[in-house]
Structure 1
Amino acid sequence: MNDSDPQAARLSAELERATLRALGQTYDSLNLEYFKGSLRRPTIAFAEGTSRLGSFVSVPRGIELSPKLLHLGWGVAVEVLKHEMAHQFVIEVLGDPDGAPHGPTFRRVCDERGFDSAATGLPAAQADADTPESKTLERIAKLLALAESPNEHEAQAAMSAARRLMLKYNLEEIAAPKRSNQ
């Protein structure tokens, strides 16, 4: 399979949308748990052509994430999201007292919450991020990467396996908000 395969592109786009929905839900949970709901969810999107894994942008408000996160695992994606939420908290809630992206206030906010404050490199993924849903998303991402193989048989088998998983676990359901019976 190659990059021009429309089926691979469609499945990759579906995985990206499902991952962004899941990250939005995770943002809401982390906001309540670590920031007492003080943050307003910004746009969360994948941004091509960046060497950074993530970035909080205040104008227009958004968290930009590298598409590389789709292949690095759910735990890494959540840690990058936490890091960017800490930037958002320092800027929007605390008023950016240091004026430095990774200054003392940012490091203190991260330390108080157990977040990785490092500006570069891969964050340490948390074990509690290994939910069944995140493992399924990771497995599908790996299969889609394998579907890019120059070996046609291997690529076709990986594509079929990814499609079966997406149908079996109905990614819309995985990424949809959990509704309580009221």
Structure 2
Amino acid sequence: MIAEWENACWLLPPPLRQSIRRPLFSIRAMPQRLGCWDPAKREIILSSELVSKHGWDDVKDVLLHEMAHQVAHEGLAGAKETGHGSSFKQVCRFLSANPRASGTYPTLHERLNQGDPLDDNDRMVIRIRKLMALAESSNPNEAHAAMRKAFDLIRRHNIDLISHGQDQRYTSIFLGRPRLRHFREAYHLAHLLQDFYFVQGVWAQAWVLEKGRMGRVLEISGSVQNVQIAEYVHASVHRYIDNTWADYCQDKKLNRYRKTDFAVGVIAGFRSTLQQASISTQQVNDTGLPMCVDDKLTRYLARRYPHLRSFSRKGPSHDAQVLSDGTQCGKKLVVSKGIRNAAGFNNQVLEYHGKGSS
């Protein structure tokens, strides 16, 4: 928590950053609360259940909320205001903190998993649900066709919303766990989600619990529905890679780097499926990627990360045969059940066809 607090301090304007001191931190049982700021003791307290049973993005969400209380109280003389007064809201904007992430308010992932109620009169949602159900077919050709149609429908729906300037509610979540080092396939998958699922990704700093150091984690931002879909696809592709790799490497002496080659191939194969599904959409470029940019999402991300930088690096050498075999496996990947009911995408499993399916 100390490292996250110190890291968040750099989001504050210099005069405000220099006006506050590091508080005490504690974790204790608080059945009715996620966290609190105790100004008398200068202490930020987080619920032990929150820390032990929820993801680090849930923990960080609450920590930033309580930090905003501290900064408003000590740096902006907000002690005379109500708990969530104008000073507190101002600091929340600096920290990209959620003003409601405390008390009995649900955690970030609990809010996402609750999902938005589906309107049965919404023909678009009903059609997508039916197509995703068809994608569970045991017939590989039928399953792929249904998945491509569902993807194309989601795509057209988003392009229509963006082109008409429709207001959407954006959110940000972590995908996977913070690590000191991420294998190459993690970056390929991040680009796939950003290219095809109407989210934007940032490799954000986050605390790596098992290493006791700051590392990085993929954070995606987008509309609530698109973030849920991207989260589901991210988990699905990882599970597919693990299962198909277990079959592929039997009786082969292949190391972890060859798994990366295989995984990059799987992602490339799946990317080709999505590109083919995009051809029928008119508003795409030569690579099948959308030409319609969500400017409102871009502004949301700019407010969240005002000093964002991009970087690239050259990948290491790879085994061409393993990469090619992974690509062929990736072309067989079928993601289904992604849109099923109002409960969102939690507790869903990957459905795919071919050797090693389950």
The TM-score range, normalised by the shorter chain, is: 0.5 to 0.7
**TM-aligned CA distance change 1:72 to 1:111, over 3 Å:** same
- Secondary structure at the counterpart of residue 59 of structure 2: helix
1:40 aligns with 2:77: no
Root-mean-square deviation over aligned CA pairs: 2.9
Q: In the alignment, is the contact (CA less than 8 A) between 1:74 and 1:129 conserved in 2?
A: no
**TM-aligned CA distance change 1:113 to 1:33, over 3 Å:** closer
Q: Which residue of 2 aligns with 1:79?
A: 61
Query: Mean Cα displacement is larger for which, 79-88 or 25-34?
Result: 25-34
Q: Indicate the percent of aligned positions where both proteins have the same amino acid.
A: 24
Q: Which residue of 2 aligns with 1:16?
A: none
- In structure 1, which of residues 68, 81, 85 is the aligned counterpart of residue 49 of structure 2? 68
**TM-aligned CA distance change 1:35 to 1:122, over 3 Å:** farther
- In structure 2, which of residues 176, 179, 182 is the aligned counterpart of residue 132 of structure 1? 179
Q: In the alignment, is the contact (CA less than 8 A) between 2:8 and 2:95 conserved in 1?
A: no
Q: In the alignment, is the contact (CA less than 8 A) between 1:42 and 1:61 conserved in 2?
A: yes
C-alpha separation in 2, matches of 1:112 and 1:26: 15
Deviation at 1:107, TM superposition (A): 1.8
C-alpha separation in 2, matches of 1:62 and 1:88: 9
- Secondary structure at the counterpart of residue 85 of structure 1: helix
More helix as a share of residues: 1
**TM-aligned CA distance change 1:107 to 1:128, over 3 Å:** farther
Structure 1 length as normaliser, TM-score? 0.55
Query: Mean Cα displacement is larger for which, 49-58 or 29-38?
Result: 29-38
Question: Where do residues 98-113 of structure 1 align in structure 2 (5 Å cutoff)?
Answer: 98-113=80-95
Structure 2 unaligned blocks of 5 or more: 109-170, 181-207, 216-358
Structure 1 unaligned blocks of 5 or more: 1-22, 134-168
1:49 aligns with 2:36: no
Q: Which residue of 2 aligns with 1:121?
A: 106
Deviation at 1:129, TM superposition (A): 8.8
C-alpha separation in 1, matches of 2:61 and 2:176: 9
Deviation at 1:97, TM superposition (A): 5.9
**TM-aligned CA distance change 1:33 to 1:129, over 3 Å:** farther
Deviation at 1:41, TM superposition (A): 1.2
| Counterpart residue identity of residue 66, structure 1 | S
Q: Which residue of 2 aligns with 1:26?
A: 4
Deviation at 1:40, TM superposition (A): 1.3
Q: In the alignment, is the contact (CA less than 8 A) between 2:72 and 2:88 conserved in 1?
A: yes
Larger Rg: 2
Structure with more contact order per residue of length (Cα contacts < 8 Å, sep ≥ 6): 1
Give per-residue Cα distances to partners, 1:124-152, cap 9 Å, x unaligned.
6633894226xxxxxxxxxxxxxxxxxxx
- Secondary structure at the counterpart of residue 126 of structure 1: strand
C-alpha separation in 2, matches of 1:53 and 1:85: 13
Deviation at 1:52, TM superposition (A): 1.1
**TM-aligned CA distance change 1:177 to 1:115, over 3 Å:** closer
**TM-aligned CA distance change 1:170 to 1:56, over 3 Å:** closer
Which runs of 4 or more aligned residues in structure 1 lie more than 6 Å from their structure 2 counterparts after TM superposition? none
More strand as a share of residues: 2
